[in-house]
Each structure stands twice: as structure tokens, then as C-alpha cells.
Amino acid sequence: MDQFIDWYSFHFKSSVSENDISMRSPDIKFDKRTKYRGYFQDKQGFIIILLLYFLGTENLIHFPNIVREHGGASFLILYIFCSYVIMFPLYLIEQGLGQFYSLSVLHVFQIVPIFSGLGYTVVLTSIFSTLPFCSIVTQAMMYFAYSFSVSIPWIHCTETYPKVNCSKTFSNDTLYEKMPFSLTPSQIFYDIDVTGSRNPKDGSEYGLTNGVGSIRYPYLVCSICNWILMYILSFLVLRLSIKPLLYYLLVNILVLLIITFRAISLEGSYEVLLEFILPDLKKTFTLKSFQDAITHCLFSAGASSASILTLASLNKFHYNFYFTVEVIIVCNVIIGIICGIMQFSIIGFLVTTLKLTKDSRKNVIVDVVTIINGISLIQKRRLWICLYTMYILMIGDLSCVILMVTVIWCLIDYFPNLFGFSEYRKYLITLCLYVMTFFINLPYSFRGTYGFTNVLEKLLEYQVCPTIIFIEVIIVYFLYGANRFRSEVKMMLGFSFNCFWIFCGMTILPIFLIFTTLYGIVVTLNNKQSFYKAIILIVTNFILFLPFLIHAITSVVVLFKEKLNRKSYRILFYPVRYLGPYYKENWLSGRIYPKKLAKFQNDSGFLKTIRETENLKEILWKLAIKLQNIKNEEKKEKIVQQETVSVWHRENV
């Protein structure tokens, strides 16, 4: 490995011929697959796409409510600590592996044979993660559309549902306290029209056991428009159009700052904002607060999805991803704090305007409905409602688009013949994937299915995500080897991370993940789950982890048929060394074959064949055949020379 590093240091100081693949720059990608999939040509592209992904709905909707529930500023300190101790070593794993091997998540986990099926589980998790996000974005689109109506339906009572008792004005008795069949206009619009969690005939709540009601056509229309908009945005990400994405990011940040400054300037904004700023240690030092801090760090950063690792595979070989990890962690925390200040300021204005008592304030939930109710009381409310809902639309749609496009890149990497290196096929298969995911999301258009969205989101956040990350940590830090991973990082960056991050990755991170998973399972078992909810949990876990289990069992069965001894099964846990186009070229040129490849520097056709070959075994086979042919020709030349010498000797002697 030291010789390999010396080869890199020598390469940086020398200028070489283009045809000399023994000393060629590994940043240049020659294979058709990588050119077809695309790669980042500058350093800013990777950061811009990651920032657009982290501006998603998790920081906007869930983070402020978690901070308020677990002690304000003291929970923020705990969250920042978890962000660095958990996210930093985790990002090093995903970005380091993706960039080093230049392969998607479907290929990278083949470095350990027994876990080769984990990539399928990660891709399925990415697809399932889009479902709750798309539901939230579709709800925001409904509010955006209805804000242009003559009479805003969540402010005044209408005669749409005559059998539902509607309180005509906001009051501190009916706004947030659950009173049977006495609902505010905002509750009627949200529970009946937007989520469909109540029956429009009498206002009663749907449960998981009450069956499914009729379809909600306004929600269905908004959902179709949302998926069409996502498909249009996917062209920007598939083509890696960095400049339009940069403008898209700047517009999002500008809209967020405008809404935040307007919220702070509202009357009484500080009333609830103090709950976000002032610490409360009693609420912070609980098991639930630790679990929420850990799971939000993981889920908001997309750690268990295919996005981070697959996006990192588009980087150049010597890209400094260590700097990117620091930037992303800091930006993720800052965005969460800004969203919290904005939402708590609006809730403070709402509480002051309605003159709610201290007991009633505790029932106020920080969510989209509450924020829109508060914005509806501001002057020029239509403008601010449009800005807020448009911001949710823009960040939510692009987060889902990045998840879907990373799935497409994984398919290109794993099934290149399916795409045929055709741009038309790429966009057609992308359309087919969107249509398939839309039909999976279609049941949410029916009344009474909103509870399934919450069940799926909690399952992904508290159980599936920590389990996948725990397996990744076992693969990299224990089976693959922390020292080997550090040496590979040094090949790319010229330096490696220190031993503190190895300590975090091998001790703190696994302990936190085990605690989060076990605590989530215990809480789930202690709560009285309905039969349908239990079925959803079992079926979803089975679907997500089935490919992983099939690959593991298949590997064991293959060795069992060979009738090998028990020690032979260790090979399933041994890391595979040479994998991926970068490792393929650099290993061949840097360690074993520099002299042999030097013989073919003038043979441009053979060098081009080597560059376009994906499989390492094929390269070795072609090199062996080529060298064998050379040896045979040399033998023939020697035989011819011997014959000519013998003939000359006979004639002259």
C-alpha cells in the first residue's frame, strides 16, 4: 500500500503522455458508463446538490417541534454534539467509499460478499422515503392553490360540509382542544380536505381499522401536478446543470430569509421564541430526547438513502470531500435553527393575536397547519401564504427529485445495457420510475389513509435508518478495516482523518445506533398497536430487507453446495480488494503491471480497449492473452533465427 501511495505522490509531480495508462491521471473518466451517467466537473456542484437536498422538509417541519419538546437551547447543544460525533464519521464512510470506487450503492457494498445485497435495501428505502415527503408537499400545493380562491376556506366557515359543526371564529377553546364535532375552519379544511383523516359526513375521525373512504379529487389533482413538476426538475439534476441549481438554491435561501425576517418583526413573536432559545435541562436529559437527536441527525441528512454515496461517486478522484463534510454539517444545523426561529416567531404572533392562556399554549403543535393559521392573520396574508407554501414546494420537490435521480444513477450503474447509453432511454426509464412511484403513492388520495403515512415515516426514521447505518459501520470499520479505509482516503486527498474519528466510528456511533434501534423497538412493543399498524410494520420491514437476506442466504448456500469445511465460510466476511473503475486502473498501473503496460504505450487500440473494459477479470484476461501472444511471437522469431543460423552454417561450413 505504501508503494501505491508513492506512485500517487510521483504522479502529481510529473507530466505524462495521454496514452500512458500506467501514469495517467485517475481524474479523467474514459469508460462509457461514467460519461453517460455524468460527473461533477467542479468542486461546487457536489456541495450545491447536497445543500438543496438538506433544505428538505425535515428541518422545516419536524426539527422545530423536536427542539421545543426537548428543552430548547439545551437540546440544540445535544443536537450539535450528535451532528459532529455521528454525522462526521458516517459521511466519511459514504462519501469516501463512493468517491474512491466511483460506483453507486448497488455495487459498493460488494466489498464484503455477505452484505452485497444491502444496496438493494438502501435503494428501496430511498423510494419509500419519497412517499411521506411527497404527501407533505402535496398538502402544501393544496394550500397554495386554495390561497387564490375568493374566500380562503381555512379562515371562514363554509357550507361545504353542513353536518359538521363549525365554529365561525378562532377562539382559544376550539382552536387546538379536541372537541367532538366542533371544529374550526382550519381543522375542517386540514382534516377533511387536505389529509382526509375525518369523515366529511359527520366530522368523526378515521382510524386504521375504520376502512378507507372515498377518493379526494382535489388532492389527487395536486398530487399529479406535483409529480409532473418533479419530473421536470429531474432534467436539471440528471444533466447536472449546476448553474440553474445554484440559482434555485439562492432563491430558496432568499425566500426563507424573507419569511424569517417578517416573522421576527411580528407583534408578540418573542412570546414562544423564548421556548426555542432558553434551555430546559429536565426535558433534554431523557432517553426520548437522545433518540430524537440521533434519528433526526441521520434521517434529515439522508444517511440511509442512496443519495450521499451515489452523489459522491460522481466526484473526481482527488476531490476534497473532507471539507464538504464540514460545510454540510454546519449548514444543516444553521438551516434547522433558522427554520425554528421563523416558525416559533409566527406561533408567538398567533398566540398573542388569539390571546391564548399559558395552558392553551402547551397544546399548540409546531406544524404546517399552525404556521399557515398564523400567516393567515398577517396583513397581505395571500402573499405570505403563497411564499411559505411555495418554499415548501420548492425544497420538498427537489429533495424528492434528488432521491429519485440517485435511484436512476444506481440503475445506470447496475444495468447499463437496459439504458443502452441513450439519452432517450434514460428519460423514458425515469418517467417509468416516476409513474410507478406515483401509483405506490396513489392510496394516499383516499380518505382514512393519512395514518399510514405517519406509520411509514416513523418506521423509516426510528428503525430502518439506524439498522442500515449500523450494518454500514460494521462493513467499513470492522470488516473492511479502518486502517485500509484511512489509507484509501490518503490516496484521494493526500492526507487522512485522525484517530478521533475512527474512535467515534468504531465505538460512539455503533453504541448510539444500537440504543436508538432497541429503544424504538421497546417503545413500539409497549404501545398498544392496532392489528393493521402491526401488519404495516411487518410487511414494510420484510419488503425492505428481503433482498439483503436473499443475497446473504444465497452466498451461504453456494458455499454449502461445494461441501467446504467451516473455516471456508470466512471468505464471506473477507473484504474484496479490487473493485471499481478507479481502483481497477490505479491498481493495475500502480502496483503490478507498470512494466507490462509500458510495452503497449504505442498500441493505442489496445489501450483504448483496456480503458473501456469495466470488469477487472476481463482486463487481466486480455493482458494475459496479449502477453502470451507476444511470448509466442518471440518464440517464433527465435525459432526462425535459429533456423536461418543453422542454414547459413550448413551452407558456409
pLDDT at res. 528: 64
Highest mean predicted confidence (pLDDT) among 16-25, 198-207, 411-420: 411-420
Q: 300: annotated binding-site residue?
A: yes
Mean pLDDT of 376-401: 88
pLDDT at res. 582: 54
Whether 496 has a pLDDT exceeding 90, the answer reads: no
Residues composing the chain = 653
174 or 151, greater pLDDT = 151
Picking from 103, 93, 121, the residue whose alpha carbon sits closest to that of residue 481 is 93
Whether 561 has a pLDDT exceeding 50, the answer reads: yes
Confidence of residue 23 (pLDDT cuts 50, 70, 90): very low
pLDDT at res. 12: 31
574 or 32, greater pLDDT = 574
pLDDT at res. 210: 60
Please state, in angstroms and rounded to a whole number, the distance separating the CA atoms of residues 312 and 101: 10
**Is the Cβ–Cβ distance between 83 and 332 less than 8 Å?**
yes
Mean pLDDT of 419-430: 85
Picking from 350, 192, 341, the residue whose alpha carbon sits closest to that of residue 275 is 341
Mean pLDDT of 107-123: 87
Mean pLDDT of 494-509: 84
Whether 114 has a pLDDT exceeding 70, the answer reads: yes
pLDDT at res. 226: 93
Whether 354 has a pLDDT exceeding 70, the answer reads: yes
What Rg, from alpha-carbon coordinates, does the chain have? 29
- Neighbouring C-beta atoms of residue 112, cutoff 10 Å: 20
32 or 292, greater pLDDT = 292
Whether 153 has a pLDDT exceeding 60, the answer reads: yes
Picking from 597, 591, 596, the residue whose alpha carbon sits closest to that of residue 578 is 591
Confidence of residue 653 (pLDDT cuts 50, 70, 90): low
Mean pLDDT of 219-235: 92
pLDDT at res. 7: 33
What's the sign of the alpha-carbon dihedral 54, 58, 63, 66?
negative
| Residue 116 to residues 225, 277, 415, 545, Cα–Cα distance (Å) | 38, 46, 16, 12
Mean pLDDT of 24-34: 50
At residue 2, what is the residue type? D
pLDDT digits (tens, 9 = 90+) for 444-466: 888 878 777 777 888 888 888 88
Highest mean predicted confidence (pLDDT) among 8-17, 396-405, 528-537, 592-601: 396-405
pLDDT at res. 27: 42
pLDDT at res. 11: 34
Whether 180 has a pLDDT exceeding 80, the answer reads: no
pLDDT at res. 228: 94
Please state, in angstroms and rounded to a whole number, the distance separating the CA atoms of residues 508 and 487: 22
Q: Which domains are seen in the chain, by residue range?
A: 1-22+577-653 (no CATH), 42-150+214-556 (1.20.1740.10)
Q: What is the largest CA-CA distance in the chain?
A: 126
Q: 332: annotated binding-site residue?
A: yes
Confidence of residue 432 (pLDDT cuts 50, 70, 90): very high
Q: 223: annotated binding-site residue?
A: no
| Residue 572 to residues 242, 555, 580, Cα–Cα distance (Å) | 41, 7, 19
3-class secondary structure, 166: strand
Please state, in angstroms and rounded to a whole number, the distance separating the CA atoms of residues 53 and 110: 27
Mean pLDDT of 224-232: 93
Highest mean predicted confidence (pLDDT) among 56-60, 320-324, 593-597: 320-324
**Is the Cβ–Cβ distance between 346 and 374 less than 8 Å?**
yes
Whether 209 has a pLDDT exceeding 60, the answer reads: no
DSSP class of 494: S
Residue whose cell numbers read 470488516: 479
**Is the Cβ–Cβ distance between 579 and 605 less than 8 Å?**
no
153 or 626, greater pLDDT = 153
Whether 297 has a pLDDT exceeding 80, the answer reads: yes
Q: 59: annotated binding-site residue?
A: yes
C-alpha cell at 383: 402573499
Q: Which of 5-9, 268-272, 373-377, 618-622 has the lowest mean pLDDT?
A: 5-9
pLDDT at res. 224: 94
User: How high is the mean pLDDT of the chain?
Assistant: 78
Whether 174 has a pLDDT exceeding 50, the answer reads: no
pLDDT at res. 329: 85
Mean pLDDT of 485-490: 83
For the chain, counts of helices (H) and of strands (E)? 32, 2
pLDDT at res. 121: 92
pLDDT at res. 1: 34
Confidence of residue 17 (pLDDT cuts 50, 70, 90): very low
Confidence of residue 3 (pLDDT cuts 50, 70, 90): very low
- Neighbouring C-beta atoms of residue 486, cutoff 10 Å: 18
Whether 417 has a pLDDT exceeding 90, the answer reads: no
Confidence of residue 316 (pLDDT cuts 50, 70, 90): confident
CB burial class (10 A; 0-12, 13-18, 19+) of residue 282?
exposed
